A and B are shown apart, each in its own frame.
Chain A
Amino acid sequence: MSEALIETLLKAPYVAKFGIYFERKGDELTGVLPYGEHLVGNPLVPALHGGAVGAFMEVVASGALLASQRLVRLPKPIDVAVDYLRPARPIDVYARAVIGRSGARVANVRVEAWQGRREAPVATLHGHFLIKQQPVDA
């Protein structure tokens, strides 16, 4: 676990601005993106901005990596692919990550975001992140 870095991640101006927080149970982590009008991309549908939901899932991927191991700095995204499955409605969004593989330098992560029903995700993310492990002897 990298508690100090999880704090750094959540206190970063961008993340704090949108009020993203984590609910933790041991190394399991659920991200919450609280609804705010500033998240709306298209008020006519109305739907949350795809960029806001994508960015939120990136934050949750970083959080899950930090919660599962001791890293010396924030994970850096190498690439992400986001699939939008349903319009995200103007309510809170939740997301949870599954770490596919976490090696010495790169981690493969999948994230699912949902609103009302966990079985009906609004978006999924699949990405690679550059990580730096804390030396074992340190």
Chain B
Amino acid sequence: MSESLQELLNRLAPLIVDGSPHAQALGLALDGLGPARATMRAPYREDLIGDPETKVMHGGVVTALLDHACGVAAFSGLGAKETPATLDLRIDYMRPAEPGKDIIAEAECIRAHGLIAFVRATAHDGDESDPVATASAAFMVTRPSQQAAERVKRAIETGELS
């Protein structure tokens, strides 16, 4: 029996944050991972404040959270083989996130074909109908991402990667 996509995703889930130093630095967390979709969270942290007057987290945290969640949804949408690179990411900042609240990003890969994936995402701080930001992104499996996947495959085969 070959492994189902969901089983593969479950196995890879711990790497979504742990495999990315920047995601770790921001304290991102994976809340949900399914075929062509991902939910990620940026816990509120004082060391990530962008405007000391309002105590609102920096827009860059929302940018990184959305980029990461969209990338994971694209990765899943493309069959969870190679990690695709972001081609473009467009973000609309609807309102500032509330200080003290976590930001949650829900990303869905609406189309994946061949090497390309299109993703839509919403970021909110508790109420999905009142978004902090929305995003639209395109991803592609590039030559460097294919080479990286090859290296991982070889390392697993030769037992160099435990």
Contact = CB atoms under 8 A, between A and B. Distances in A.
Interface residues of B, number: 45
Per DSSP, chain A at the interface is mixed
Interface stretch (B4-12, B86-94, B122-130): B86-94
Contacts of B24: 38
A81 B22 contact: no
Nearest to B51: A74
Nearest to A74: B51
A47 B147 CA distance: 13
Contact of B52 (A11, A80, A83): A11
A138 interface: no
B148 A42 contact: yes
B23 interface: yes
Contacts, number: 140
Interface string A44-55: 110111111011
**Range of interface residues on chain A?**
35 or more
A54 B65 CA distance: 11
Contacts of B47: 13-14, 17
A122 to B, nearest CB: 11
Contacts of A84: 85-89
Contacts of A44: 19, 83, 148-149, 151-152
Given A14-B48, A87-B144, A43 B21 contact: yes
Contact of A54 (B21, B64, B85, B96): B64
A39 B66 CA distance: 16
26 contacts: A11-B52, A12-B49, A37-B21, A38-B25, A41-B68, A42-B19, A43-B19, A44-B149, A45-B85, A45-B145, A49-B23, A49-B67, A49-B68, A50-B64, A51-B64, A51-B65, A51-B66, A51-B68, A54-B64, A54-B67, A78-B93, A80-B90, A83-B87, A84-B87, A84-B89, A87-B85
